[in-house]
Amino acid sequence: KDIGTKKMQEKEDKLYNISGSATTITFSVVAACLLSLIAYIFYDPQVSGTEGLLSFLFNRIHTEHIRIIINLGAILISSLLLLWINNIYTIVRAHSSLPLLFFLLLECSNPELTSELRIGNILVPVILLSIALLYSTYQNIRPQNQAFTFSLLITAGFLFWTPLIFFLPIFWIGLYQTRALNSKTFFASIIGIITVIWLFYGGHFIWNYPLSFDKIFKTAGTIHWLHDEGEFSQLLYLLPTIAIGFIAGISSLYKHYSDKICTRVYNEFINVLSVCTTIFIGLNISEFYNFLPFLNVYVAIQASHLFNNITNKVMVYLFYTIIFIYLLFYLWILLQDLVSGVI
């Protein structure tokens, strides 16, 4: 029966040879490394400032090669975590390599994200692990442990990059969506937050780590308008990503009743994360390069759900068109930087 179902899926799904192949994973990883290497050699990134513990740690990594290796390693770890989460929870309704493919495409086709050590790339695994913990609360009789752990992870990440704390209320919404939000899980989440802050302040008095809570309110309350050509080019790069997320989100509503209940819940949460992250970018454009890796994760999942088990050629053409557009943007940004460097 399973063999027959698999053969039928191969026959119906126009992208089965891509989504169901281990070769796709290998090719995607190799292509990502190659694009990152080219960007490192030929592209001059906009170096962003760091805050909190990251400023304490990053300033001690003086070798540029090591910074790039750490950044690329974080991207590859995130892609594998994304693949693992999908294979466990079947977010896109089937085991598929599409989440990894789309994430590496969105990340590595943007030289700004691969030619400099970015906070967002480092902290994406924290959010992915938190998503896995949240998903495990679905129909779980004791979700308090998961609520405590993802709150602890996100709050720990907040010490490295303060805007990460904005994702925590979204995870409370996720608890509501998985029907796990109650007084016990919310209290467990608060305890996770308090635990990290209590431990940090203990270390703060010993090692004098930097931390300033007023940065949170400054970040939340300040709108940074676009002010140079580099940001305008990146904004153009962002438009297709937002469009893909929007189209995939609308499509998931039409597929709502064809999915399993758990798959609906998982994708509804990703849709909320995608919308909120887009809003965060709009409100704080100065943190564009740090928020973008998170948006890439969510849109990669949305796009994978959109292109899973497609049966018409129009969607196949759209799939390859998306890949072509992002590679074209990659060349455009790279050549734009080379020309400005010559001038």
43-64 confidence digits (pLDDT tens): 877 655 454 555 555 655 656 7
Name the amino acid, one letter, at 240. Answer: P
Mean pLDDT of 77-99: 86
Q: Residue 67 — pLDDT band, cuts 50, 70, 90? A: confident
180 is written with which tokens? 């796990």
C-beta of residue 144 within 8 angstroms of C-beta of residue 184: yes
pLDDT surpassing 50 at residue 273: yes
Per-residue pLDDT at 18: 73
pTM of the predicted structure, to 2 decimals: 0.86
pLDDT surpassing 70 at residue 212: no
Higher local confidence (pLDDT), 222 or 297: 297
Query: DSSP label at 141?
Result: S
Question: Angle of helix 288-306 relative to helix 119-135, nearest 10 degrees?
Answer: 40
Q: Residue 235 — pLDDT band, cuts 50, 70, 90? A: confident
Per-residue pLDDT at 223: 44
pLDDT surpassing 50 at residue 225: no
pLDDT tens readout for residues 309-318: 777 888 888 9
Distance CA(285)–CA(290), nearest Å, equals 10
C-beta of residue 185 within 8 angstroms of C-beta of residue 223: no
How does the average pLDDT of the chain come out, rounded?
81
DSSP one-letter string for 203-272? HHHHH-----THHHHHHHH------SHHHHHHHHHHHHHHHHHHHHHHHHHHTGGGS-HHHHHHHHHHHH
285 is written with which tokens? 């454009």
